[in-house]
Structure 1
Amino acid sequence: MNKRAYNFNAGPAALPLEVLQQAQEQFVDFQGIGMSIMEVSHRSKQYEQVHNETQALLKELLHIPDNYKIMFLQGGASSQFTMIPMNLVGEGQVSSYVHTGSWANKAIKEAKLFSDVHIAASSKEQDFKEIPDLSALELPEQAAYLHITSNETIGGIQYQQFPQTGKVPLIADMSSDILCRPLDVSKFGLIYAGAQKNLGPSGVTIVIAREDLVQESPANLPSMFRYDTHIDNNSLYNTPPVYSIYMVNLVLKWVKEKGGLAEMEQFNQEKTKLIYDVIDQSQGFYRGVAAPADRSIMNLTFTMENEALEKQFIQESQEAGFVGLKGHRSVGGLRASTYNAVPYESCKALQQFMLDFQKKHG
């Protein structure tokens, strides 16, 4: 095999090489059944075992309490922007949101189609470079939930601690940082995540929900948009994204083999420190975007003196085998996404490239 790229894509993103190799070995013949897992019936015992084992692995790694349900859905996190207010906002209630950037804004926009929206806090005035102070958070009595985006992929900010919401359920879009660190699921009413960052390939969305919140959806909702439809049918009401769930299964086993989420957090902190140190010690050649206290360990955002220099950085990095370092089209700049599967060696290589680039162009 040729040398693998230094993959810093924001999503779909790097997958563990060991997982890809195992999937390759089983691609044509899954466990000796003479077929690929993509070819088997989703009602078969072979797939049922993968399906249920994947749920069990999630429960084990995240220490999910027994009164929570796991759903494998489709449509990405974007579909959850709609399903959450459709299912959880009752008559006379409002939905509350913390506005921290692009993805929070998209969730807010969809919620406004189905509910009155209350903005509990926002960092818009800070150009979404930090998480707003939530220490004195006040929620309206009629709030159905408070929604947060735990990690803003585009802006590169991440919650270091989560707000206390009392009796109001806390809901989190964790698409870009789930499994990057330990998590107390019991603090949340619902967590959702598109798989294509830390969980596996695109195609499946994981929803972890407290049972009392989702056991009975409004009667006027179509079947596919009701959480209770998927809970009652163990996410098998319709054909699930079989191969994506199988890949999530392999990734979860990989995380477990690495020691779990505490070890994963330490690993992520060590490798991102390599890059943040270059930024901080560059005397302004590289300029971090996010406030230091709220920096993400998944998406590292930075800029340079001008756009021409950033374009030169992208060009030379691509020539050196780096992929995905261009910032999101909506904000420009530069970004390195260092999800769980991005090796330490890739971050070390980026560190050296950045040092060499500064020496050459500084």
Structure 2
Amino acid sequence: MQNSLHRPERKPENPQFSSGPCRKRPGWSPEVLNAALFGRSHRSAQGKAKLKEVIDLTREILGIPADYRIAIVPGSDTGAVEMALWSLLGPRGVDIFVWEHFSGIWATDITTELQLADCRVFRADYGDLPDLHQAAPDRDIVFSWNGTTSGVRVPDGAWIAEDRTGLTICDATSAAFAMDLPWSRLDVTTWSWQKVLGGEGAHGMIVLSPRAAIRLTDHSPPWPMPKLFRMVSNGLLTEGLFAGETINTPSLLAVEDAIDGLHWARDIGGIAALQKRCQRNFDRAAEWVARSNWCEFLARRPEIRSQTSICLKINDPTLDPSEYPQIASAVARYLARENVAYDVNAYRTAPAGFRFWGGATIETADLACALEWLDWSYHAVRQSMRT
């Protein structure tokens, strides 16, 4: 790149590029939390109203159908996915699609913990997708919409049969509020607050189609169900859960923060505006990658590249690949030490490189600046390792 030998003069105004918890929305300050119900019960009328507001704003912004149920659940996206797996799987065979770390965890849970015998696991290495068209419409399907650790996403939902008889369980934690989610093809969709809208951790969301709700009441899992996973009582759906009556005690401070993020999303133009912000960030990263002589996207094909989890890998023909991990770690430490970019190491199981969050709360100018520093610091670190 042209400026690789020149130390950039400007730094990002905000160096927070973590993939979760992610940067707060532009203009955020602790004062937005002043309306939180400190010292109040989440089961008070006011507490339940706050939780219901999160559910209602979520439905409005994402365009979730009126007959789909939405709940706030414990344990972040992990808790929401596990709740779905433990509650719904068993009656049919399961097709599991794995192409990054967390989808691999879901496969392990289904095959090893739940010990379901009729499972087909379709795998792809980091940077690619398995053949999604192997999904059978009469089987349940478990997959991630966007691989946070790989920067690989499904391009669309056309591979999911509209007339399927099985359920689809979709981990959408880094896709919700950033990508088009075809609700008619999704029966269970999960995410957490800490991604695209920059909320706090520990809280998850789960969305159930009418078909998933029927499965909940028609199917009794053969294994013991932890209290935190129970969405059914005496054979009936726990309807209060989908009106803000959470299973356990949520943080009302985090709830207030989630409301603030949702208000911001609505006020800037809703899902369309959020998607545009993500796309601008990705486009700027793509321009940078196109000029680089040592770095490329981890995702091999343009149509499967994530607009939120921008995963880059080192591909420097002047180095031995065995040197990549050392130089990547040194560069990430340098960027953090210079207060240019925090937490941009590639995920620990991914190829050596870098991961920049490009979600809606990230400013494009900050990302562009950080990438200039990435280029300069890479060459500086590589030179220092040669001398």
3-state SS of paired residue (2:311): strand
CA–CA separation in structure 1 for the residues paired with 2:48 and 2:137? 43
Comparing 111-120 with 286-295, greater Cα deviation is found at 111-120
Q: Which residue of 2 aligns with 1:204?
A: 203
Q: Which residue of 2 aligns with 1:33?
A: none
Tell me if 1:122 matches 2:131.
Answer: no
Contact 1:11 1:196 in 2 (8 A): yes
CA–CA separation in structure 2 for the residues paired with 1:57 and 1:351? 34
Paired letter, 1:322: A
Q: Which residue of 2 aligns with 1:326?
A: 345
- Distance change >3 Å, CA 105–CA 78, structure 1 → 2: same
Contact 1:12 1:201 in 2 (8 A): yes
Aligned pairs for 1:22-61 within 5 A: 24-27=30-33, 29-30=34-35, 36-61=36-61
Comparing 213-222 with 310-319, greater Cα deviation is found at 213-222
Tell me if 1:139 matches 2:149.
Answer: no
> When the two structures are superposed, what TM-score results if normalisation uses the length of structure 2?
0.81
3-state SS of paired residue (1:40): coil
Q: Which residue of 2 aligns with 1:287?
A: 296
Aligned pairs for 1:211-222 within 5 A: 211-214=210-213, 215-216=216-217, 218=220, 221-222=225-226
Q: Which residue of 1 aligns with 2:24?
A: 15
3-state SS of paired residue (1:7): coil
Paired letter, 1:192: T
- Distance change >3 Å, CA 13–CA 26, structure 1 → 2: closer
Contact 1:274 1:351 in 2 (8 A): no
Cα deviation for residue 324 of structure 1 reads: 1.4
Tell me if 1:344 matches 2:348.
Answer: no
Give 2:150's match in structure 1, choosing from 144, 152, 155: 155
Aligned pairs for 1:56-205 within 5 A: 56-91=56-91, 93-112=92-111, 113-114=113-114, 115-119=116-120, 121-123=122-124, 127-134=125-132, 136-139=133-136, 141=138, 143=139, 145-162=140-157, 163-165=159-161, 166-199=164-197, 200-205=199-204
Cα deviation for residue 46 of structure 1 reads: 2.3
Q: What is the percent sequence identity of the aligned residues?
A: 17
Cα deviation for residue 334 of structure 1 reads: 1.3
Q: Which runs of 5+ in 1 are unaligned?
A: 31-35
Q: Which residue of 2 aligns with 1:313?
A: 331
Cα deviation for residue 190 of structure 1 reads: 0.7
Comparing 231-240 with 178-187, greater Cα deviation is found at 231-240
Paired letter, 2:363: P
Count of matched residue pairs: 343
CA–CA separation in structure 1 for the residues paired with 2:211 and 2:339? 52
CA–CA separation in structure 2 for the residues paired with 1:63 and 1:153? 23
CA–CA separation in structure 1 for the residues paired with 2:26 and 2:276? 20
Structure 1 residues 179-226: Cα deviation after superposition (integer angstroms, max 9, x where no partner): 003322222101001222124110210000113423526276344322
Paired letter, 1:116: A
Paired letter, 1:244: A
Paired letter, 2:328: E
Give 2:279's match in structure 1, choosing from 235, 252, 269: 269
Paired letter, 1:342: I
Comparing 246-255 with 208-217, greater Cα deviation is found at 208-217
3-state SS of paired residue (2:299): coil
Contact 1:99 1:119 in 2 (8 A): no
CA–CA separation in structure 2 for the residues paired with 1:322 and 1:300? 14
Tell me if 1:302 matches 2:301.
Answer: no
Contact 1:120 1:137 in 2 (8 A): no
Tell me if 1:247 matches 2:257.
Answer: yes
CA–CA separation in structure 1 for the residues paired with 2:259 and 2:212? 26
- Distance change >3 Å, CA 89–CA 303, structure 1 → 2: closer
Paired letter, 1:153: T
CA–CA separation in structure 2 for the residues paired with 1:106 and 1:210? 24
CA–CA separation in structure 2 for the residues paired with 1:256 and 1:47? 22
Comparing 158-167 with 204-213, greater Cα deviation is found at 158-167
3-state SS of paired residue (2:31): helix
CA–CA separation in structure 1 for the residues paired with 2:247 and 2:100? 34
Contact 1:120 1:139 in 2 (8 A): no
Give 1:225's match in structure 2, choosing from 229, 240, 250: 229
Cα deviation for residue 132 of structure 1 reads: 2.3
Contact 1:64 1:186 in 2 (8 A): no
3-state SS of paired residue (1:325): coil
Contact 2:77 2:203 in 1 (8 A): no
Structure 1 residues 149-207: Cα deviation after superposition (integer angstroms, max 9, x where no partner): 11111111111112223232222101112100332222210100122212411021000
Bigger relative contact order, structure 1 or 2 (CA pairs below 8 A, ≥6 apart): 2
3-state SS of paired residue (2:307): coil
Contact 2:70 2:206 in 1 (8 A): yes
Comparing 218-227 with 108-117, greater Cα deviation is found at 218-227
